[in-house]
């Protein structure tokens, strides 16, 4: 392997790499081969303290800069990310196993979009002026929250580090970011590039570690906000911890999203949407449309076309740009997915394609298609986070909408139809933060992204994220002498 993924050190604090080998070792495992390709160390309490102290100390200076100045630095970071896209994409592939054909267009590029977008907004973040009776007036100042903590999942390590960092920094906050222990590499590069672009020391820091490091960060009294991308069980714990300190919180959690395909749909658009919503990143996407409701009359045609298109997937070396399906991120995730496939078969779903672990080193499983899945089956209720597509039959629009919403989750939902009115009716009825018409899983920085119901609180991306990284201060100005009752 030509790429040496091992970072200069485990953590990035105050503008430089920092090591503390007393921390628990975390092996870097390349998912495509299972090889250990390096090692980092979890943060010790001393490292956590150093990172928090650095971010706290950097707060006032960064917030005192004008938004335009902060924005210029973030936009420079976006340019550097784009220039280094190949190197960063290869690192993302090492970290996650996702094929280069994806990482070249969806990870560092998405991070760069966030840095550019929020860098562009930074100079325009102002308060407002409010006229009041008697010449009095109020004005608001949009202030940063302060020290923010970001905690990431393992599926999009570069993107998550930037989706949290870019709006936080644009608003004048500082951040300590903890990546998932499964994918520790990419956030360090984001931090390095921010420094190179001119972000002052201490403004964006990265520490490694497991849940307890995340918990230590979230519970620190200096921290004003926490933004987590992770599972619902972790979200519950972190949200509760944040509540103890009355901290602001954004929770980007899991899903079990529906994709509803009507008989009038263009079959290839339907199949493409289902592929995008189930097999991209080997199914390890929170917003995936894993419950594919197909109207009765086209179930056979849909499944046939799906099997044919799945046959064109190229499963192989993720560093080969022709590859379209990579491995699962870890042995653990592979076991979880295999367990769900077994359950699907046991509970009576019909396995149409895939379902087998591949006999090669690394964490490989075939893209899998089930049909005749019913709402009560485990594979239709629980988030699998793997390449497992379930087809559920339906008859009417009303029935499809009710069943689509009959889940505790509410991250995304999609509809495929040629009937415009029906598409908008369905979207109006979906209980989901992001809806798709005739496609699935696009997440541009310009549009809000986040969940309803158990899928989370708050929104990332777009102007909506500004609300979650800043707060208004109201100032009342009296023009006449103050009158008191006594
Ligand atoms: P986890 O919930 O296991 O972990 C998420 C992060 O939280 C990790 O960095 C983890 O550390 C950390 N963590 C775990 N326990 C605690 C704790 N008690 N206090 C603070 N931090 C803690 O999720 P996964 O990494 O397994 O990611 C998969 C999940 O993420 C899926 O459910 C998926 O739906 C969701 N997700 C949601 C997205 C969204 O935007 N809505 C996008 C992508 C994924 P460590 O792992 O190092 O121990």
Q: For residue range 176-226, list pLDDT tens digits in order.
A: 999 999 999 999 999 999 999 999 999 999 999 999 999 999 999 999 999
Cα–ligand 1 centroid distance for 233 (angstroms) = 9
Cα–ligand 1 centroid distance for 151 (angstroms) = 7
Q: 291 with 256: CB under 8 angstroms?
A: yes
- Rounded CA-CA distance 157/108 in Å is 10
Cα atoms in the Cβ-side hemisphere of radius 13 Å centred on 34: 10
- Rounded CA-CA distance 101/313 in Å is 12
Residues taking part in catalysis = 164, 252, 286, 460
Binding site membership of 365 for ligand 1 (Cβ less than 6 Å): no
- Maximum separation of any 2 CA atoms in the chain, in Å: 86
- Rounded CA-CA distance 166/179 in Å is 15
pLDDT of residue 143: 98
Q: For residue range 84-104, list pLDDT tens digits in order.
A: 999 999 999 999 999 999 999
pLDDT of residue 200: 98
Binding site membership of 57 for ligand 1 (Cβ less than 6 Å): no
Q: Which atom of ligand 1 is the closest one to the Cα of 385? A: 31
Is the pLDDT score of 2 beyond 70?
Answer: no
- Rounded CA-CA distance 421/416 in Å is 12
Q: For residue range 46-86, list pLDDT tens digits in order.
A: 999 999 999 999 999 999 999 999 999 999 999 999 999 99
- Rounded CA-CA distance 16/295 in Å is 56
pTM of the complete model: 0.97
C-alpha closest to that of 388 among 418, 373, 367, 415: 367
Quickly state the pLDDT bin for 6 (edges 50, 70, 90).
confident
Q: For residue range 331-382, list pLDDT tens digits in order.
A: 999 999 999 999 999 999 999 999 999 999 999 999 999 999 999 999 999 9
Cα–ligand 1 centroid distance for 152 (angstroms) = 6
Kindly state the percentage of the chain with pLDDT values over 70. Answer: 100
Is the pLDDT score of 400 beyond 80?
Answer: yes
């Amino acid at each position: 392997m030509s790429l040496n993924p091992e970072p200069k050190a485990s953590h990035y604090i105050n503008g430089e790499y920092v090591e503390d080998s007393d921390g628990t070792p975390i092996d870097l495992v390349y998912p495509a081969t299972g090889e250990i390709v390096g090692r980092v160390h979890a943060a010790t309490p001393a490292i956590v303290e150093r990172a928090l102290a650095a971010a706290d100390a950097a707060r006032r200076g960064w917030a005192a800069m004008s938004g335009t100045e902060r924005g210029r630095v973030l936009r420079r970071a976006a340019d550097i990310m784009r220039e280094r896209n190949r190197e960063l994409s290869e690192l993302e592939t090492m970290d996650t196993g996702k094929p280069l054909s994806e990482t070249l267009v969806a990870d560092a590029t998405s991070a760069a979009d966030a840095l550019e977008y929020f860098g562009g907004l930074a100079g325009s973040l102002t308060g407002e002026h409010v006229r009041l009776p008697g010449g009095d007036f109020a004005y608001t100042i949009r202030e940063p929250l302060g020290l923010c903590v970001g905690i990431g999942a393992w599926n999009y390590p570069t993107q998550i580090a930037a989706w949290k960092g870019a709006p936080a920094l644009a608003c004048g906050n500082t951040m300590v970011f903890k990546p998932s222990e499964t994918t520790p590499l990419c956030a360090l590069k984001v931090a390095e590039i921010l420094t190179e672009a001119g972000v002052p020391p201490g403004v964006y820091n990265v520490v490694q570690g497991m849940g307890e490091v995340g918990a230590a960060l979230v519970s620190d009294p200096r921290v004003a906000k926490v933004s987590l991308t992770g599972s619902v069980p972790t979200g519950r714990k972190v949200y509760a911890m944040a509540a103890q300190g009355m901290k602001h919180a954004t929770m980007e959690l899991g899903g079990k999203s529906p994709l509803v395909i009507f008989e009038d749909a263009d079959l290839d658009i339907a199949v493409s949407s289902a592929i995008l919503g189930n097999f991209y990143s080997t199914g390890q996407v929170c917003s995936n449309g894993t419950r594919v409701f197909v109207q009765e009359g086209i179930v056979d045609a849909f499944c046939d076309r799906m099997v044919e298109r799945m046959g064109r997937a190229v499963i192989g070396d993720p560093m080969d740009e022709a590859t379209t399906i990579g491995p699962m991120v870890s042995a653990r995730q592979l076991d979880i997915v295999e367990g769900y496939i077994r359950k699907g078969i046991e509970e009576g779903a019909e396995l149409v394609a895939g379902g087998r672990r591949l006999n090669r080193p690394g964490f490989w499983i075939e893209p899998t298609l089930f049909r005749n899945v019913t709402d009560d089956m485990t594979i239709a209720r629980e988030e699998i986070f793997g390449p497992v597509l379930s087809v559920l039959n339906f008859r009417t629009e009303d029935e499809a909408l009710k069943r689509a919403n009959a889940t505790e989750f509410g991250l995304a939902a999609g509809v495929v139809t040629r009937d415009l009115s029906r598409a908008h009716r369905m979207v109006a009825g979906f209980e989901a933060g992001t809806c798709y018409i005739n496609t699935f899983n696009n997440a541009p920085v310009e549009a809000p992204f986040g969940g309803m119901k158990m899928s989370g609180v708050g929104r990332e991306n777009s102007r909506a994220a500004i609300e979650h990284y800043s707060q208004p201060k109201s100032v009342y100005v009296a023009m006449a002498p103050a009158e008191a009752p006594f």
